[in-house]
């Protein structure tokens, strides 16, 4: 489904292909429900901001103080002088370890209550808050649990009554239920060149990724954000707090020009400010992309696990309708003398350090190399290399995606990280590289 809004109205809401490839059921853009996965985080952040507006939560308040205030069944184990704030939970800057095993159930009846799950499965804090971004479903889920506690309402009921219903998102749900089962698209994966259905699993962290919505419903959500919190007579949030969600709250490196608002990844493309979030979950890939200054929003979702498609759609949409007339070819800066400092193995800092899941890092290493022409190539298993043009001063530009990255240098002059707007890649020591560890497996 592709849905585009502009200046308060829906321009396009169109379905392509099948809701179920085997049954040849066509997509209905008004009714077919897609698993929007981590796009759910933008709806959760909106719910948090409603309670901030009411004075029941504080974005800069300490997370543990809020959990204690509302008598939560657990507190977060903190190990650094800097305290974790509510905003850090939303924006992946709390410093949590990664945990993926056990996050979903095939049997919905076996999904635990959100608070109970978090109390037993919360990953440890392994990095100082705000040192880098490290994507965390669990951190976002804690912010959703605070919505439940501060409002005194079950999370799904709160989102339904305070976001979905006022905006006329009549088909959207926080979680699967029997009443919408017939409208949910079948998720698919591509294996051996064949499109195959995947079973529906029930996510244990609803605020972070369980929601279902249609193109028509997501149009209403985008319009609310683009019209300062109001659609028709319905207002879900005041202008001040909507603006706060789309204001830069955290940057890993000011040279990148991209970072995090409140629940949205922010940046600029072709001279236009954007707020966006993608999502992938078991046979689905989605993305919301808004240009707040232009009154434009586009939502895409497909029921096959193809994250590249949504990126291609957004890139071509921006090139066609919001191209940069002053865009010039960039000549790489000669970095031959510094390339040895940058070249080597890197690892996304979103990984498990204290569980069996750490084994997956043997297959998820990134390697940075030089093409000898001033460009650096970022490669990883199973993916096409990304080419970055060197701009000098430790800054890189992926021209194809207009994405900047920058190197962080430690006190000893060595590279510690390669940073993007929303991710951080650790430079590995020789004894941490996968080739060495694979030799012993």
User: Residue 432 above 70 pLDDT?
Assistant: yes
User: Residue 336 above 60 pLDDT?
Assistant: no
- Could you tell me if 236 and 46 are in contact, meaning their C-beta atoms sit under 8 angstroms apart? yes
Mean pLDDT estimate for the chain: 92
- Could you tell me if 205 and 135 are in contact, meaning their C-beta atoms sit under 8 angstroms apart? no
Q: Which of 88-92, 175-179, 296-300 has the lowest mean pLDDT?
A: 175-179
Q: Which of 147-156, 218-227, 346-355 has the lowest mean pLDDT?
A: 346-355
Alpha-carbon distances of 42 from 217, 242, 264, 409, rounded to whole Å: 14, 12, 6, 32
DSSP string covering 200-250? --EES-HHHHT-EE-HHHHHHHHHHHHTTTEETTEESS-HHHHHHHTS--B
Q: How far apart are the first and last CA of the chain?
A: 44
| pLDDT 10s digits, 281-295 | 999 999 999 999 999
* Block residue for tokens 């499109």: 195
- Across residues 387-403, what is the average pLDDT? 84
| pLDDT 10s digits, 62-95 | 999 999 999 998 999 999 999 999 999 999 999 9
User: Residue 374 above 80 pLDDT?
Assistant: no
What is residue 89's predicted lDDT score, i.e. its pLDDT? 98
| pLDDT 10s digits, 10-28 | 999 999 999 998 899 999 9
Task: Compute the distance between CA of residue 130 and CA of residue 94 in angstroms, rounded to an integer.
Answer: 6
Label residue 305 by pLDDT band (50, 70, 90): confident
381-386: list long-range contacts, CB under 8 Å, 24+ apart.
none
Task: Compute the distance between CA of residue 283 and CA of residue 371 in angstroms, rounded to an integer.
Answer: 35
């Amino acid at each position: 489904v592709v849905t585009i809004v502009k200046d308060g109205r829906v321009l396009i809401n169109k379905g392509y292909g099948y809701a179920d490839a085997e049954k040849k059921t066509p997509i209905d853009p008004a009714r077919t429900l897609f698993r929007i996965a981590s796009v759910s985080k933008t709806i959760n952040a909106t719910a948090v901001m409603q309670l901030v507006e009411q004075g029941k939560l504080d974005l800069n308040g300490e997370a543990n103080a809020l959990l204690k205030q509302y008598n939560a069944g657990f507190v977060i184990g903190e190990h650094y002088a800097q305290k974790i704030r509510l905003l850090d939970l939303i924006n992946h800057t709390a410093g949590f370890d990664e945990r993926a095993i056990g996050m979903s159930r095939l049997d919905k009846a076996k999904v635990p209550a959100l608070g109970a799950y978090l109390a037993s499965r919360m990953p440890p804090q392994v990095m100082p808050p705000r040192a880098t971004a490290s994507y965390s479903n669990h951190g976002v889920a804690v912010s959703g649990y605070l919505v439940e506690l501060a409002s005194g309402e079950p999370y799904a009921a709160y989102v339904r009554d305070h976001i979905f219903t006022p905006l006329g998102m009549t088909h959207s749900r926080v979680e699967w239920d029997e009443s919408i089962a017939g409208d949910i698209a079948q998720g698919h994966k591509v294996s051996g060149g064949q499109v195959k259905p995947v079973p529906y699993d029930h996510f244990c962290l609803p605020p972070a990724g369980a929601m279902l919505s249609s193109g028509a419903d997501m149009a209403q959500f985008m319009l609310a954000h683009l019209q300062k919190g109001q659609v028709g007579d319905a207002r879900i949030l005041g202008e001040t707090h909507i603006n706060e969600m789309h204001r830069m709250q955290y940057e890993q490196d000011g040279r990148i020009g991209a970072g995090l608002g409140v629940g949205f990844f922010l940046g600029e493309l072709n001279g236009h400010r954007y707020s966006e979030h993608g999502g992938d979950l078991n046979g689905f890939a989605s993305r919301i992309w808004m240009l707040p200054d232009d009154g434009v929003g586009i939502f895409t979702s497909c029921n096959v696990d193809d994250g590249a498609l949504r990126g291609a759609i957004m890139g071509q949409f921006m090139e066609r309708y919001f191209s940069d007339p002053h865009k010039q070819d960039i000549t790489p800066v000669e970095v031959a003398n510094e390339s040895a400092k940058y070249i080597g193995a890197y690892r996304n800092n979103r990984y498990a350090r204290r569980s069996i899941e750490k084994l997956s890092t043997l297959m998820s290493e990134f390697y940075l190399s030089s093409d000898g022409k001033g460009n650096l190539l970022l490669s990883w298993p199973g993916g096409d290399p990304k080419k970055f043009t060197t701009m000098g001063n430790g800054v890189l530009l992926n021209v194809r995606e207009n994405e900047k990255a920058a190197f962080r240098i430690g006190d000893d002059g060595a590279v510690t990280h390669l940073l993007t707007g929303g991710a951080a890649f650790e430079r590995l020591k020789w004894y941490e590289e996968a080739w060495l560890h694979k030799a012993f497996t």
